[in-house]
Amino acid sequence: MQFIDLKTQQAAIKEELDRRIAVVLAHGQYIMGPEVAELEQTLAADVGVKHCVSVASGTEALLISLMALGVGPGDEVITTPYTFVATVEVIALLGAKPVFADIDPRTANIDVAAIEAKITPHTKAIMPVSLYGQAADMDEVNAVAARHGGIPVIEDAAQSFGAIYRGRKSCALSTIGCTSFFPSKPLGCYGDGGALFTNDDTIATACREIRVHGQSKRYVHTRVGVGGRMDTLQCAVVLAKWPRFAWECETRGKIGARYTRRIHEQVRGARAVEAADAGAEIDAIRTLNLGPERTSVYAQYTILVPDREAMQARLKSAGIPTAVHYPVPLNQQPAYEHLCCADCTPVSAWMARHVMSLPMGPDLSESDMDKVIAALSQS
């Protein structure tokens, strides 16, 4: 069994993939070819925002967004320590200070009440992460931002492209939404890629310029930029995957829901995490909750287990790969530990001790899920 099965998907789209790649090889516009604009128009229409700007990676999407907002030395950006390092790295790279707000134990997403407590006159942006494929509490985050003078909100939606939140799509939920097309993401290419989404014309123009070395016209560099374009070939790969994507999102949602139902039914003592569990020893598997009116794309299907090492060993011996997203919160990493003590975000520290991700994807078979559930239920 594979942790993520990309081969079945590739076989299903082979004809369209070959055709799309052949078109790019024939026209030869490897940088900013016609597939770049086609992808941007397709995704903007689907997400329901005015602008989509494709970029070299999810990291680059976050960096360019912060640059477009003018984030720099002396500024603070509030985010979660319980995320992939890129979220925080881009803030530090610009000389600004990442400010950590703890997470809600029920969802592993940022705790909105904790955000409000961290706002200062230096807060330049708030960056919630829609972790594991489920949108953060974006309406509540936006409301806090609005109450404090309209602080811009960037959704790090690297894991949640395709997720639905109160009838709207992830990436369309705040000032800017950033996603990643890293191969293992719900909408992955065959290399690095990413995109940012916004309804704001000024931000979109700034991002388009920053993506190409701050260039407003050929050899006119109006601002500091980066080399941050997404390759035409990678855009063609995403376009080849696009016709199957709606089915994949729906299927991911069903598989995730089936995992949760079967764990609750078949694993002794299993139940959803409750707020009171945070910090306590857990004696059996806990599943994460879907907040109300949300559909996750389950970039990962992640549970909490009492003894992770033992559980991973047990699943490994049954031929089941697992992963840990993430074993160490970023405020306990050497590069960032000076910013905030581990005790200041106890829920993140607790979550990191217990999480374990199971094989997941739209092509996960019923028999593979049977094996996972059987291995989880042995005690």
Ligand X SMILES: Cc1ncc(COP(=O)(O)O)c(C=O)c1O
**Locus of tokens 């907040």:** 291
Residue with tokens 């794309």: 297
With respect to ligand X, which residue has the nearer C-beta, 61 or 376? 61
End-to-end CA distance of the chain: 22
Name the residue with the smallest CB distance to ligand X: 58
Residue 76 near residue 99, CB atoms below 8 Å: yes
Could you say which of 79, 87, 107, 142 contacts ligand X (CB under 6 A)?
87
Quote the least distance from Cβ 84 to ligand X, whole Å: 4
Q: How far apart are CA 305 and CA 303, in angstroms?
A: 6
| 141-160 positions binding ligand X, by CB under 6 A | 156, 158-159
Question: Least distance in Å: CB of 85 to ligand X?
Answer: 8
Q: Work out the burial of residue 318: count CB atoms within 10 Å of its CB; fewer than 13 is exposed, 13-18 middle, 19 or more buried.
A: middle
Residues 29-68, mask of contacts with ligand X (x by CB under 6 A): ----------------------------xxx---------
* Interhelix angle 34-47/232-266, nearest 10 degrees: 40
Interaction residues for ligand X, span 298-327 (CB under 6 A): none
Of 18-26, 83-91, 109-117, 227-235: span binding ligand X (CB under 6 A): 83-91
Q: Does 116 bind ligand X (CB under 6 A)?
A: no
CA distance 10 to 190: 10
- C-alpha 259/C-alpha 311 separation (Å) is 17
Give me the 255-284 binding string for ligand X, x by CB under 6 A, dash otherwise.
Answer: ------------------------------
Report the residue from 49, 86, 273, 364 that binds ligand X according to the rule CB under 6 A: 86
- With tokens 């002396």, the residue in question is 74
Residue closer to ligand X by CB (options 34, 191) is: 191
State in angstroms the smallest separation of the CB of 375 from ligand X: 26
Of the pair 129, 358, the CB lying nearest ligand X is at 129
Residue 158 beta carbon to ligand X: minimum distance, rounded to whole angstroms:
3
Per-residue binding string, ligand X, 160-199, x by CB under 6 A, is --------------------x-x---------x-x-----
Q: Distance between CA atoms of 235 and 27, rounded to whole angstroms?
A: 14
The alpha helices in the chain, defined as continuous H runs, are 7-12, 14-27, 34-47, 58-68, 86-93, 112-118, 138-147, 201-211, 232-266, 308-317, 346-354, 366-377
If one asks whether residue 84 binds ligand X (CB under 6 A), the answer comes out as yes
Instruction: Name the site residues for ligand X (rule: CB under 6 A).
Output: 57-59, 83-84, 86-87, 129, 156, 158-159, 180, 182, 192, 194
